[in-house]
Amino acid sequence: VSPVESLPQQERLQAFRTLCLRHGLSVTHQRWVIYEVLKSMPGHPSPEEVFAQVRHQIPAVSLGTVYKNIHAFLDSGLLREVSLHHGTLRIEANTDPHHHLVCRRCKAVFDISEADFEPLRLRDSARVPNGFVPDHFAVEVIGICDRCQQQ
Ligand SMILES: [Zn+2]
Ligand SMILES: [Zn+2]
């Protein structure tokens, strides 16, 4: 349980309001529930998995509404997609700085803290081609996961 999850609901809601304000999003009850569900889900849920959880709390919610809110989070930069090239949309619920361990066999994606790496930097940013302006590093460490090793 992260320190954020152990805060009382009122404080979490206040923190969510501040976050939305910073990212130019309006605060609605649905948006708040979807965010809470996302933060409570381990790993990298798909919109469908988020929808299944949100329904327990808002039975009338539609998949379209969940999609719309997830895209609002992603477009505003409040949350990130796991990777832009994974094909299917997976939401990064872990907002702590981290990279990914990707299993070559089953494609499972696990988090690894940025603190477990040597500090990453470009040797000479003037040599980044095509006028590209980097804003963060996303490292994928490819290998075989524990479960696949046992098979
Ligand atoms: Zn695997
Ligand atoms: Zn992650």
In tens, the pLDDT along 76-104 reads 999 998 876 667 899 998 888 999 999 99
| pLDDT for position 83 | 74
| pLDDT for position 65 | 97
Q: For residue 16, which phi and psi values (nearest 5 degrees)?
A: -65, -40
| pLDDT for position 1 | 45
Q: Kindly tell me if the per-residue pLDDT of 29 is higher than 60.
A: yes
| pLDDT for position 82 | 87
| pLDDT for position 133 | 84
Q: How far is the CA of 97 from the centre of ligand 2 (A)?
A: 9
Which ligand is in closest contact with the Cα of 91? 2
Q: How far is the CA of 79 from the centre of ligand 2 (A)?
A: 11
| pLDDT for position 84 | 63
Those residues whose C-beta lies under 8 Å from the C-beta of residue 68, and which sit 6 or more positions away, are none
Q: How far is the CA of 42 from the centre of ligand 2 (A)?
A: 9
Q: How far is the CA of 80 from the centre of ligand 2 (A)?
A: 9
Q: How far is the CA of 140 from the centre of ligand 2 (A)?
A: 10
Q: How far is the CA of 102 from the centre of ligand 1 (A)?
A: 8
Q: Which residues surround ligand 1, an ion (CB under 5 A)?
A: 103, 105-106, 108, 145, 148
Q: For residue 80, which phi and psi values (nearest 5 degrees)?
A: -115, 155
Those residues whose C-beta lies under 8 Å from the C-beta of residue 37, and which sit 6 or more positions away, are 50, 53, 54, 57
Query: To the nearest whole percent, how much of the chain has pLDDT over 70?
Result: 93
Q: Kindly tell me if the per-residue pLDDT of 61 is higher than 90.
A: yes
| pLDDT for position 145 | 96
Q: How far is the CA of 114 from the centre of ligand 2 (A)?
A: 11
Question: pTM above the 0.85 mark?
Answer: no
